[in-house]
């Protein structure tokens, strides 16, 4: 099901879309948030289309992320959360949702998302590790926290309803700084590597 453009991500009867409908039917009081990215669906494991087979092509990727977000909203998601870290993804998704009358669908941005080895267990489970290179060209560098903070400010301007910092434990200073610079709700993502450390500590 993995393709160069990750087209399974926006299929009406895709796994996520079916899961949303089932959850909404069985648990109508639940709030459903979905991750919007292409990395699990691309054959190369990157979060967007590739240009020349090696670098991520930002702008053409925006339409595919928007299409995926709309498919999640159509299935019943209350909130879509883009994690691809493409420039302009929040605005593209907000415009697409509004154009399809999903004006009440919330948008939670993975706005300050750092490149990290802490994503390892997830990438192994989802078989979504990049087949070549890494994601450091479009995820934030821990050595430059100002850029991560700028991403949050830009995403708020593009129409995000919630801002997220990811990973969580190592970036409490960034969480605090984002909170100081916005009136929006701030979320933190305790990622798979962080969970694995907590789980291993509990076992020991």
Quick check: is 113 catalytic? yes
* Three-state DSSP class for residue 118: helix
Q: Which of 25, 166, 179, 204 is catalytic?
A: 166
Do the bridges between strand 106-113 and strand 162-166 make them parallel or antiparallel, or are there none, so unpaired?
parallel
Contact predicate 152/128, CB 8 Å: no
Contacts of 113 by beta carbon, 8 Å cutoff, 6+ apart: 83, 85, 139, 140, 148, 151, 164, 165, 166
- Catalytic one of 25, 113, 136, 179: 113
CA–CA gap between residue 120 and residue 196 (Å, rounded): 10
Alpha-carbon span 40 to 81, nearest angstrom: 15
CA angle 106, 111, 113 (to 5 degrees): 130
Q: Is 11 a catalytic residue?
A: no
Q: Which residues are catalytic?
A: 113, 166
């Amino acid at each position: 099901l993995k393709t160069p453009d990750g087209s399974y991500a926006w299929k009406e009867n895709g796994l996520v879309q079916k899961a949303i409908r089932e959850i909404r039917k069985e648990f109508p009081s639940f709030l459903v948030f979905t991750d919007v990215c292409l990395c699990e669906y691309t054959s190369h494991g990157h979060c967007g289309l590739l240009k020349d087979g090696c670098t991520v092509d930002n702008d053409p990727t925006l339409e595919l992320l928007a299409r995926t977000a709309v498919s999640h909203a159509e299935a019943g998601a209350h909130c879509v959360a883009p994690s691809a870290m493409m420039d302009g993804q929040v605005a593209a998704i907000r415009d697409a949702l509004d154009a399809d009358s999903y004006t009440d669908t919330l948008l939670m941005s993975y706005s300050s998302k750092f490149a990290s080895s802490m994503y390892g267990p997830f990438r192994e489970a989802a078989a979504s590790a990049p087949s070549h290179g890494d994601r450091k060209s479009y995820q934030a560098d821990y050595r430059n926290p100002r850029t991560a903070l700028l991403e949050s400010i830009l995403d708020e301007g593009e129409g995000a309803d919630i801002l997220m910092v990811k990973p969580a434990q190592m970036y409490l200073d960034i969480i605090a700084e984002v909170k100081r610079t916005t009136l929006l709700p701030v979320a933190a993502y305790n990622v798979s590597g962080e969970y694995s450390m907590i789980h291993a500590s509990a076992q020991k």
